[in-house]
Amino acid sequence: MKTIQLDRQNTHQTPNVRKAEELLAHTDIQLNGDRPWDIQVHNPEFYQRVLSGGSTALGESYMDGWWDCEAPDQFFHKLIMARLDSKVIPLSWKINILKTKILNMQTKLKSRKSVEKHYEFSTDLFISFLDPYNQYTCAYFNDTDDLDIAQEKKLELICRKLMLSPKDKVLDIGCGWGGFAKFAAERYQCHVTGLTISDKQLEYAKKICDGLPVTIIKSDYRDYKGTHDKVLVCGMIEHVGYKNYKTLMQTVNHCLKEEGLFLLQTIGNNISVTTTDPWSNKYIFQNAVIPSAKDITTAAEGLFVLNDWHSFGAFYDKTLMAWHRNFKKNWNSIKDSYDDRFYRMWTFYLLSCAGSFRSNKSQLWQIVFSKRERKAGYQSIR
């Protein structure tokens, strides 16, 4: 890969460099500076590429080795705090936003294609940085700095909030690799039905839950019919799309018994949107949308009673940093299946997300619903 190292003394030679420095003026980020959050530019074409291409170009130029940063998480934290992430929006993305307002980008077919793009990576990739229960959602770092313990605390928190008991039949919509199903079945002796549309997750979940009262089914949530005491949607509504929030809530309502409980764990947006960051949409989570509080309550209105709303987005920063440390530490065990560009892409993904949560731009919510008012009320659990 051919790169050109720029001399910091010559960074004022072009209008594009001056424009970049103007944009960075209020971020405390320097071009070719010596602090962990400063960026080192290796290719002079970087400036024009990013100024014209926005978020997508920033990520792709990093993947191509055109720039580096010792601490990308700190870089993104400063970038977002200065709201620079919203200053450069190319015309192509404005057109895409318009398209999402007209079309349903998360139909059954499109959802399957989106899953294939991300979750059909080798299972070894995810195992390399996740905990033993393969939890690909925020951990609960309450009185611990250990990722494995924090993920068990998160699973235990979900079980307690759902008031699980051995008699319960639990539905896990978007069950991932079966970690919650395994945990709940082993610790609470309840029966868990997990839904996924990923073939690799289906295969892995069936394997780790073998011998337990767990049923893993390949099914879109819109096709499933069944009745359950408790329902969990953890890290899945982000893939549903804003046109389908109500449909998901109606599905859960139909599947949940009258006295049942429904727990939703989701990344949260501070405003209502119809799409996600363009680089992430292209390379990581195609057609994903992060719901706002308004999106969720509007979709749930008339179907559920809101019993509890628990916010712990700061823990997602710690989760992502732990994932990145594991990914970096275990890279040698999986690198034969990938290349350097993929390594840089995954690093950019994990650390840019960490910067987003650190900046309070992104939230993490656990919300407990019931179908109607409960006779004994609901006691919040933390």
User: Do 150 and 207 meet the contact criterion of CB atoms below 8 Å apart?
Assistant: no
Pick the catalytic residue from 138, 175, 190, 353.
Answer: 353
Task: Indicate the pTM of the whole model.
Answer: 0.91
Kindly state whether residues 184 and 327 are assigned to the same domain. Answer: yes
Its domain, for residue 274, covers 108-370
Cα dist. 313→121, 140, 265, 356 in Å? 26, 10, 11, 10
CATH number at residue 306: 3.40.50.150
pLDDT in tens, 21-41: 988 988 999 999 999 999 999
User: Do 283 and 108 meet the contact criterion of CB atoms below 8 Å apart?
Assistant: no
Kindly state whether residues 122 and 75 are assigned to the same domain. Answer: no
User: What's residue 9's pLDDT?
Assistant: 44
User: What's residue 265's pLDDT?
Assistant: 98
Kindly state whether residues 28 and 143 are assigned to the same domain. Answer: no
Q: Does the active-site annotation cover 209?
A: no
Kindly state whether residues 187 and 270 are assigned to the same domain. Answer: yes
Number of structural domains found in the chain: 2
Phi-psi region of 54 (alpha: psi -120 to 50; beta: other; left: phi over 0): left
Q: Which residues of the chain have pLDDT under 70?
A: 1-13, 85-103, 105, 109-114, 375
Q: How far apart are CA 105 and CA 362, in angstroms?
A: 22
Kindly state whether residues 156 and 12 are assigned to the same domain. Answer: no
Kindly state whether residues 221 and 355 are assigned to the same domain. Answer: yes
298, HSE (Cβ side, Cα atoms, 13 Å): 10
User: What's residue 118's pLDDT?
Assistant: 75
User: What's residue 5's pLDDT?
Assistant: 46
User: What's residue 167's pLDDT?
Assistant: 97
User: What's residue 93's pLDDT?
Assistant: 54
